[in-house]
Copies of this chain bind each other. A is one copy, B any other.
Amino acid sequence: MTDSQLLLSIAVLGGTGKEGKGLAYRWAKAGYHVFIGSRTPEKAEAAAKELLGLLEGEAHIEAMSNVDAARKANIVVLTVPYAAHKDTLESVKELLNGKLLIDVTVPLVPPKVASVQMPPAGSAAQEAKQILGDGVEVCAAFQNISYEHLLDNGSVECDVLVTGTSRDARAETIKLVEATGLNGWDAGPIENSVVVEGLTSVLIGINKKYGSTHAGIKITGASKQST
């Protein structure tokens, strides 16, 4: 991709939550043009203003509706709670043809958030693919990250496993992972998303059991040098 990242724009749907704001901040800092989407325009405006403040105005961040953000961007990132997953996807479905959707959603089912409970499609990412159809590439990524450290420029001690509908889509997503300062790994086809999404429940359980707050994972025994 070399310098072409400056030409790419990223929509962050649900970009007013902590996950979305953290990712939008990192991408804007890396030079991407970021559209913060929300169902509530004032919330999107407030989030964009906050992030522009943190970046001292040196960034391209615009606030808009989820629909406008999905229409304008080359790459669309979904960071809504699972309860809004299906409705949000259906509201932007027609606008995503030919684009890449990166699904950050974890299908947690309260109150048992430390138990893996996947939807009938197998995972949230597979559900997204079912809703969006053949014209859209879908990747899953960022489910296991603690978002607090994205905004304060801290290092995040957690690798990002990337699953998706094609090798090219995963490679594109891994570049966006690296742009946030994190380390991304190709974790295989979209069917493997159950591992990535389910790992969040495992990590929630580990935090509860061992008194930690930011349990994560690192891949060991492999190196990305040759890729």
Binding site for B on A (CB under 8 A): 114-118, 146, 157-158, 161, 185-189, 191-192, 194-196, 198-199, 201-203, 205-207, 209-224, 226-227
Contact = CB atoms under 8 A, between A and B. Distances in A.
B192 A202 contact: yes
Contacts of A211: 226
A46 to B, nearest CB: 30
Contacts of A189: 114-115
Contacts of A157: 220-221
B188 A210 contact: no
Contact of A209 (B116, B199, B227): B227
Contacts of A161: 202
Main secondary structure of the interface of A (DSSP, over half): mixed
A195 B192 contact: no
A219 B187 CA distance: 17
A221 B216 contact: yes
A172 to B, nearest CB: 15
Contact of A191 (B117, B210, B218, B222): B117
Contacts of A224: 210
Contact of A219 (B116, B188, B216): B216
A205 B192 contact: yes
A79 B203 CA distance: 26
A11 to B, nearest CB: 28
Contacts of A198: 192, 194-195, 198
Given A114-B188, A161-B202, A205-B187, A210 B223 contact: yes
B205 A188 contact: yes
Contacts of A188: 114-116, 201-202, 205
Contacts of A186: 205-206, 209-210
B221 A220 contact: no
Q: Which of A116, A205, A209, A211 gathers the greatest number of chain B CB atoms within 10 Å?
A: A116
Nearest to A186: B209
Given A194-B116, A195-B116, A210-B227, A202 B221 contact: no
Contacts of A146: 221
